[in-house]
Each structure stands twice: as structure tokens, then as C-alpha cells.
Structure 1
Amino acid sequence: MVRLTRAQQQERTRAAVLAAAGQEFAERGYTDAKVDRIAERAELTRGAVYSNFPSKRALYLAVLVDSIEPAGPAEALSRFARARLERLPMIGDTSAGGKLRLRSLAGVFDDDPGRTTLAQAAKLEALLLALTLEAAAPRAGRRVRLAELVLTLLDGAGHLADTAPGFGDPFDVARACEHLAGLDLADTWDPPYLPFVPLADVVEEPWRPPASSRDEITGRQVGLDADGVVAVLGADRLEAAEEAVRAARPGDRITVAVVTSDPAETGRLIRLRVGDLIGCLRGVLAPDAWQGPHLVLDDGSAIASAAGLPDADDTTEAAVRVRAGEIVARARGRGAAYAAATAED
């Protein structure tokens, strides 16, 4: 049996009350919400609710503040971890039910191509989480290694909960993630191959992308006609997205168009992993706060074709720089996103 300290128990109770109150207020509104029902949802007593919040009004305001208050890196990691850990299998779950609740892919992609795609999807997840943390503390520098460490810890907790439901305490894991924000991992972005990347080809071609595409990060339709860089990456080269992000000029719009030869499986896998990550980040990001790249699944290769890449597949690594409705530079192969991002207009 796991024993909690008094501080851990208080934190756990407060988090449970806030989560239950959020559900109650969302379903019934402030006026019709009842503290008794909030206590019941949280599996706590009415007194436990009032020991943390003196009134229903105070509780409602706390829910609102918790949802929109900008989070520093430590709080951001804590919120992200709590959201990720909510789906851990419980003692009463069947093995199959626990895996579904966990969204486990164990045994689903055991072949080498599948494992490669999973590894690349994990790299993309780490980049998106890192960009969120970097926005919370701009002076802290690159946080990709921190994001990878956090995802390793959370995925490890998930695998352990899958095989031994009920082991450990998720709030301890969330607190550990929070403390990881203070680690100095000497993280820098200096891939050794960059000095050897060939310059992008200078071209003058019309840029005719689809009128709009769905951004997998924001869920909104976005136009692709703005000046900037479009990186066309196969599902097995997703880690190259960071090149475009780091090398882009101020004001550039960065779009990562993911292409795959198997939209039904590989495309859905990427949509699952990115959607899962963004869902857990909703408690960290304020509405309209995402300032990172657009991510589009180019299932029909329409964007790739517009970029002059009709034969794009899972191994594609290419990019174009767009200006005033024209493609002004194109690069292919290792370092293509960097070459296009740094190309002279």
C-alpha cells in the first residue's frame, strides 16, 4: 500500500475537487451546480471540499483560473502529466480494457517499419511538448531533452500500470515531472550534419497548395499561402521538423506536411499520437496560445505535389520556401528543412 505524505494528500484532494468541479460546472452551470454532487464526483466528503475552497463561488473561480492561468515550465509539466496519467489502468480493469484505456500500441506495430514510425512520432511529440515549455520560459532555451525525459517517465508509468495496475501513485509521478523542469540538461540544437547540408535550389515556380488544410495541433482549417517554409516529411523522417522550427526567420510561417504511403494505418497512428499529446496539453495552453508550426497530414499528397514532390512517400525529406505566392527555394534529402529555412530570397 502506498503511503502519502500530508502535503501529497492535500494536493491530491485539491486536484480531485477541481477536476470534479470542472465537470459539474460544465454540465450544469454555476447556478445549478451543487457542492454535494462535486464531493460525490470526487469521492470525497462535503467537508473535504470546503476545507480546500470556502464557497462554491471560490471553487468556480479556482476552476476558471486553473484553466486559463499561464503556466511556468514546472506547472506546465505538472498539468500535462496529470492529464496524461488520468488514463492509467485501474485495478478493476481487464487487461484488454486497461490497454484500450491507456491507448496502448503494444503488439500493434511489432514490425520494423512500424517501430520506425513510432520512434519518429515520439520525436515529434517531444518537439511539440518542448515548444510549449519553451514558450512558458523563453529564456530557458531548448527543452527537447527535457520533453523526451518527461515522456519517457510517463510512458514508463503507463507500461508499469498496464502490467501491475494500482502500483505507485500517479500524483508522485506528476510531482516528479514538475521537478524535472529544474534540471539543467545543457540542451542545445547543433546537429553535426548542418555544416554539410547543400544549399537549397533557387527556383521560380507558382505555389498552388490546397485552399485550406486541417491543422492537427489546433484542429482548425489553415491556409497555406503565407510566406514561410513548408517541410514535406515522410512518416519516417518526422524528427526533421525541428530543423524548420529552429532555422526559421522571425515572422515565417512553418508548416509541416506529413506524407505517408499508408494513410489508413500510418496516418492514423500519427494523428493518434499528436492528438493525444495535444489533448493533454489543453490544460497548459491558453486558447489561441499555440505559436508553433502547423502540422498537416497530407494524406492525398496535394501539398507535396504543389511543392513539386509528386513521388513523396514515408522516407521523403524535402522543403520549400514560399514568398508572395511563389516557390523561391527547394531542397531535398538530409537537412532539406534547414536548407529551405535558411535560403536567401
Structure 2
Amino acid sequence: MFSSSGCCGYLETRDRRRGAHMVRLTRAQQQERTRAAVLAAAREEFTEHGYAEAKIDLIAERAELTRGAVYANFPSKRALYLAVLIDTAERQDTAGGAVLPPASTAEALGAFARSRLEGLPLAGDGPTVRQGRLHSPAGVFDEAPLRGALAQVTRLEALLLALALESGAPAAPAVGGVPGTGGGADIDGGPGAGADGPRVRRVRLAELVLRMVSGPGAPLDAVFDVGDPFDVAHACAHLAGLDLADAWNPAHLPYVTPARLCRDRWHPPEESTDLLTGRRVGFGGDGVIALLGTGRLGAAEEAVRSALPDDRVTVVVVTDDPAEAGRLVRLRVGDVTRCLRRVFPPEALPRLRLILDDRGLFAPALGLPGTDDGTEYAVRVRRGTVVARAGGRGAAHAAATAAVPAVFPGART
């Protein structure tokens, strides 16, 4: 027989042991733990063997999971590779102190290039070679759709860098009184214009810089075969002196079908994360909302340039391949945004909001049957009402420039 004290001690010991075994993770916690294990194992595998030679079976073995468990979290090796790059970049991201405005365009470009090259391995041996394997995407973009998405997201990156450059660079004076010879073409109005007059369009300049510092998920050979990456950054700064006569005059805009005026009640989707600020934002306010597939991201500039100065411009990226194309957008935009935050103060950063709609929230909110990589659709919202709609090429321009009367009836009930 147990004494009362002995019995109590036995029960306490039993309960402690039982409690240790009774700890149960929620389904979400277990999924997150499994996902973290897969990412860690994949990072090791990609670092050792590179993307092309890495094997899902070996990743599963490293994670002590089944092959099916890996695919349950990531539908393809490419999706897993992009997720590893995103996770690695987010882990390395550190918030800096206050940023002073760059004194010149050259200083801004040099600082941007150094920031982008900072996260990439320098040429050499040992650990650097291993890191090079992780960041070398040989084989990742063998399929045409993803190559197309990469080209389009690069155009979006160029726009973001250009808008930051334009925010602090007044139009250069013309040489010999000839317009357009002062290093760029004026932009009239829109978010790119400041209180002291029009700004110089810097998109072509930004595109040149991004060719030299292409960022994560792009081939590294173009950087490292040239020479010292610091020389590359120095060369980027010198690009500021080029006279590119950059002008905003797309040939198709005069022929774009005008937006259709309407009075549809606006039921905004739930809040989403703005890729440029990292903050949750709502969509109940006035402004222009452009839905662009990953094959049409270059049209984001039409929304920005065509909008009124006080418009809130929201670019919503949609795709029928969120696992791969969606992750590519998140990776590249995240990287260029981190670089911009290190170079430009908050007031100089692009004012547009950039949303990755990988849950398909906006199509039903706008009454669309669906979206895909070729989607180009835009609306203008005023006081809780969709007052203009446009679809197809030039949709963002059409919606932003729609001739909506100042006094417009409310939404139909």
C-alpha cells in the first residue's frame, strides 16, 4: 500500500511524465515546423550542389521527412529554391538607422549598387564558392513563362528605382536650349512630379543599372566575370552622367480604348501586405487600382504616370502560378525594396502600393471571373464607388485618365 505522501508523489511524477507526452502541437504549428525543416535542409542541399544538381529525395533525407512531405509544402523544386532565397534574404535583412538623402544621382546609384551586391558572394574559394552555388540559378529559368515573368519583374524594379531617383532629381537644364538634352525628358504631373516642377524620367537609367547589378535569382557570371564588384558599383555611379533623352511617350497610349464609366459599389477585399513598406494596408480609399499579371508588370508605369498627383495608386500583381511566379515577384521586389530603403529616406521612396494577390482576393471584389499572367485590368474608385473600369492593354492609363464628372451619382444599390 502507498502512504498518502507516497501516493501524492507518485501521482505528481506520473502527471509530469504524462504532461511531457501530452504536449500537442496545433496543425498550424506542425506545418510551420515541417516547413522550417524543409527550408533548412534545402538551403544546405542547394548550397552544396546548386539548383540544377540538388535532389528532392536528398532534401527530404536531410530533413528526416518523406518526399511527399516536401512536396506537400512546396509543389516543385523551383518553388522550394525561390522560397529558400526569400527566407535567406529576410534573415539577413537588418534595419538601419536614419537615411540622409543622397547628394546626387551618381551617389544614389553607387550606393544602390553597393547595397545590391552586398548580399552576393565575392569571387574566391571555400565558403564563397558554396554561397555562389546557392545564389546561382542555372536551370531555374529554363521554362519560357518564368523567363517572361523575370523580364517583367525587372521592368517593375526599374520603375521603383527610377521613381526614387526622380523624387530628388529636378529636371536638368537643356543644353544649348534644346529640350530633352539635359540628361532626361520632363515628366508632367503624376507622382513623379514635385512641388518645384517636373522631374526627369529615370527609367532607362535604372534599367542600365539593373543590368549590371541584376539581383537575386539572376545569373551571377555577368557581375563576377567583369571584375571586382566594387568596380561595378563605381561604374553604376558614372552612368548618372549619360544623356539618355528618356521620354515617356508609349506609342499605343493614344489608341487605348477609353474606360467605361460606371457606378458600382466597391466592396474592398481584406487588408493585404504592401510589398514596398511591409505594412498591412486597406483598399477602401479613393484612387486607381491596377491588376497586372506577371506577364504585364511593365504596365505599372502607365498607372503611375497617368494618375493625378493626389491619387493613391495601387498595383496588384496577380498570377496563375503563385508557387513559382508569385515567389519570384516577392523575392525580387523584396530585394530591390531593401536596397532602396538603405539609400533613400522614406519620403523619397515610391508612393505607389504594391500588392501580391496570391490568394485571389481582388478578382471577385472587382467582379472578374478570374485572372492569369496576362491580366491587365484597372478601376478608379471614388467615395466607395467604382466609377471607371478598363481592361486590356493600356487599362491602367484608361482608368487613371477617365473623364469622370466632378459631381457623380453614388453607387447603384
Asked if residue 182 in structure 1 is aligned to residue 182 in structure 2, the reply is no
Q: Alpha-carbon deviations, 1:219-271, whole Å to 9, x = none?
A: 11112112110000111100010000000011000000011111111111100
Q: Alpha-carbon deviations, 1:60-113, whole Å to 9, x = none?
A: xxx96xx5211131111111011111133230246552142xx44331121111
Q: Which residue of 2 aligns with 1:15?
A: none
Contact 1:329 1:343 in 2 (8 A): yes
What is the percent sequence identity of the aligned residues? 58
Contact 2:261 2:388 in 1 (8 A): yes
Q: Which residue of 1 aligns with 2:132?
A: 98
Q: Alpha-carbon deviations, 1:175-232, whole Å to 9, x = none?
A: 1111111211000011111111010011111111123111001111112112110000
* Aligned residue pairs, count: 276
Q: Which residue of 1 aligns with 2:77?
A: none
Q: Post-superposition shift, 1:282?
A: 1.8
CA distance in 2, matches of 1:320, 1:330: 4
Contact 2:167 2:348 in 1 (8 A): no
CA distance in 1, matches of 2:268, 2:136: 35
CA distance in 2, matches of 1:313, 1:96: 37
**Pairing 1:46-65 to 2, within 5 Å after superposition:** none
Q: What is the one-letter code of the residue matched to 2:351?
A: G
Q: Post-superposition shift, 1:303?
A: 1.7
Q: What is the one-letter code of the residue matched to 1:331?
A: A
Q: Alpha-carbon deviations, 1:12-66, whole Å to 9, x = none?
A: xxxxxxxxxxxxxxxxxxxxxxxxxxxxxxxxxxxxxxxxxxxxxxxxxxx96xx
Alignment CA distance shift 1:160-1:237 (3 Å): closer
2:387 counterpart SS class: strand
CA distance in 2, matches of 1:220, 1:312: 25
Q: Which residue of 1 aligns with 2:283?
A: 224
Contact 2:306 2:401 in 1 (8 A): yes
Q: Post-superposition shift, 1:170?
A: 2.1
1:181 counterpart SS class: helix
**Pairing 1:217-256 to 2, within 5 Å after superposition:** 217-256=276-315
Q: Which residue of 2 aligns with 1:328?
A: 387
CA distance in 2, matches of 1:121, 1:95: 27
Q: Post-superposition shift, 1:317?
A: 0.5
Alignment CA distance shift 1:251-1:99 (3 Å): farther
**Pairing 1:126-205 to 2, within 5 Å after superposition:** 126-139=158-171, 140-155=199-214, 158-161=220-223, 168-205=227-264
Contact 1:248 1:341 in 2 (8 A): yes
Asked if residue 86 in structure 1 is aligned to residue 118 in structure 2, the reply is yes
Q: What is the one-letter code of the residue matched to 1:85?
A: L
Alignment CA distance shift 1:150-1:308 (3 Å): same
Q: What is the one-letter code of the residue matched to 2:241?
A: G
Instruction: Calculate the TM-score normalised by the size of structure 2.
Output: 0.64
CA distance in 2, matches of 1:336, 1:190: 16
CA distance in 1, matches of 2:221, 2:338: 20
Q: Which residue of 1 aligns with 2:105?
A: 73
Query: Which stretch of the first structure deviates more once superposed, 232-241 or 70-79?
Result: 70-79
CA distance in 2, matches of 1:204, 1:112: 40
1:299 counterpart SS class: coil
Structure 1 runs not aligned, ≥5 long: 1-62
Q: Which residue of 2 aligns with 1:60?
A: none
CA distance in 2, matches of 1:160, 1:335: 34
CA distance in 2, matches of 1:333, 1:112: 22
CA distance in 2, matches of 1:242, 1:113: 22
Which residue of the other structure, out of 345, 358, 365, is the alignment partner of 1:299? 358
Q: What is the one-letter code of the residue matched to 1:70?
A: P
1:127 counterpart SS class: helix
Q: Which residue of 1 aligns with 2:144?
A: 112
Contact 1:116 1:236 in 2 (8 A): yes
Q: Which residue of 2 aligns with 1:6?
A: none
CA distance in 1, matches of 2:394, 2:221: 34
Q: Which has the larger radius of gyration?
A: 2
CA distance in 2, matches of 1:104, 1:257: 29
Asked if residue 278 in structure 1 is aligned to residue 337 in structure 2, the reply is yes
Q: Which residue of 2 aligns with 1:27?
A: none
Contact 2:256 2:393 in 1 (8 A): yes
Alignment CA distance shift 1:258-1:272 (3 Å): same
CA distance in 1, matches of 2:223, 2:393: 39
Contact 2:106 2:237 in 1 (8 A): yes
Q: What is the one-letter code of the residue matched to 1:108?
A: V
Q: What is the one-letter code of the residue matched to 1:129?
A: L
Contact 1:207 1:322 in 2 (8 A): yes
**Pairing 1:262-273 to 2, within 5 Å after superposition:** 262-273=321-332
Q: Post-superposition shift, 1:159?
A: 2.1
Q: Alpha-carbon deviations, 1:253-308, whole Å to 9, x = none?
A: 00000111111111111000100111111211213542421000111221222122
CA distance in 1, matches of 2:158, 2:133: 22
1:68 counterpart SS class: coil
